[in-house]
Amino acid sequence: MPELTHIAGSFGHLLHAAGVPVTPERSARFATAIILAEPQSLTELYWLGRVNLITAHDQIDIYDRVFAQVFRGIIDMADFRGDSANQAPPAAAPTGERRPGDPERTGESNNNPHGTSATPGARDDGDDDSDEASMIAAMSTDERLSNKDFAAVTEEELLLIRKLVEQLPLVPPMRKGRRERTHSAGRRLDIRKTLRRSHRTGGDPVKLVKRARVPRPRRIVFIADISGSMEPYARVYLHLARGGVLAVGAEAFVFATRLTRLTRALSVSNPDIAYRKAAAAAPDWSGGTRIGETLMAFINEYGRRGVARGAVLVIISDGWEIEDPALVRTSMERLSRLAHHIIWVNPRKAVASFEPLTGGMAAALPYVDTFVSGHSVRALEDVVWAIRASAGDRAPKLESTAIPIGFSHAQR
């Protein structure tokens, strides 16, 4: 059971990353419920989590998706919600196996929707241990991969990690747009509509009509280092960038010795074709590193045209620029005036002894708002959270691997 309670905490963390506001208190309550109730099936675990972690009806779909992702082998979440009366029966499980939620094979029928035995004591200890072991094993693979450094994964693990990364929910912060619409909480008086409405009350403006600016999402821009030192990580970051391109219209760039825009290549619906096009478009893959020249090229070619203006800029690089750190400093200073928020992702930061004291990283750091490692799937959740939390001048302090630094753009 201790392993299952640990998994419960990780499950709450994944729900939070997916957009459900799970607090540490609710995760602790879920873990306590597991200890007290000792769930004997995935169905029981499903309802324990739903009762303790969900606070609104619109969160159920997200909960179902994350639960199905974490505990593999679930075919239809309707089976757990109890609304599968009109659904076709699931395929028969192999001999000796029992689907989550299926009745016990005790020789008697069982209509209990929670999948527990109708007769007390019908379940033996062997089945209890098997069910808990299967629940732990179902999540252990994702849990292990979520914390594994991208540089150490195998090709087979990379395929699983790709799915995990592409499911990370990118939510861009909102900004006030130029367009306005009628809104009860608006600050500006709409004189024309107020006068038109006053005709209904004999010419007296009994009710004032107000307008508010329509919020619009900020653009997310990814600039990923694909040089030799970053190659093991760059292949994973492309999946994150593609998820942003498809989901929220993000812009994607890569660089080693030159800047390459990959937005169009990554927008292809077939992922394999998209990544082949991306690799073909970047001839300097696994080459040297020219961070300063690349950032300056981005400013000159795209920054002035509005791509970076007011955007959340995510730079992914280890900062190994030895030739011209001064150019890195100049480029970052200019970018800080254009972008709304700058997030720098450096996988070397995961090492406890890491100190960004020399080279391009030291030159860039004073102009970075949030500094994260992003070396694993779990660490990439900090990147996702930093993007979402950057609505103000500066993201709030995140957990251990994410550290906002410097000062806000408004103060520069």
Q: Where do the domains of the chain lie, and which CATH numbers do they carry? A: 1-86+124-146 (no CATH), 176-217 (no CATH), 220-411 (3.40.50.410)
Task: Say whether pLDDT at 358 is over 80.
Answer: no
Q: Is 217 left (phi over 0), alpha (psi -120 to 50) or beta?
A: beta
Q: How far is CA 399 from the centre of its chain?
A: 15
- CA-to-CA dists, residue 215 to 52, 131, 387, 408, 409, angstroms: 33, 48, 17, 21, 20
Query: What does the alpha-carbon distance between residue 53 and residue 69 come to, in Å, rounded to a whole number?
Result: 17
Q: pTM higher than 0.95, yes or no? A: no
On whether the CB atoms of residues 279 and 300 are closer than 8 A, the answer is: no
Name which of 213-217, 339-343, 376-380 the model is least confident about. 213-217
Name which of 77-81, 189-193, 264-268, 386-390 the model is least confident about. 77-81
Read off the tokens for 52. Answer: 């303790």
| 3-state secondary structure at position 143 | helix
Q: What are the tens digits of pLDDT across the range 5-50?
A: 566 667 877 888 788 888 877 887 888 778 777 777 777 788 888 8
pLDDT band for position 339 (cuts 50, 70, 90): very high
Q: What are the residue ranges of helices labelled H in 249-315?
A: 263-266, 271-281, 291-301
Query: What does the alpha-carbon distance between residue 241 and residue 170 come to, in Å, rounded to a whole number?
Result: 10
Query: What's the average model confidence in pLDDT over 269-283?
Result: 90
pLDDT band for position 136 (cuts 50, 70, 90): low
Read off the tokens for 369. Answer: 């708002």
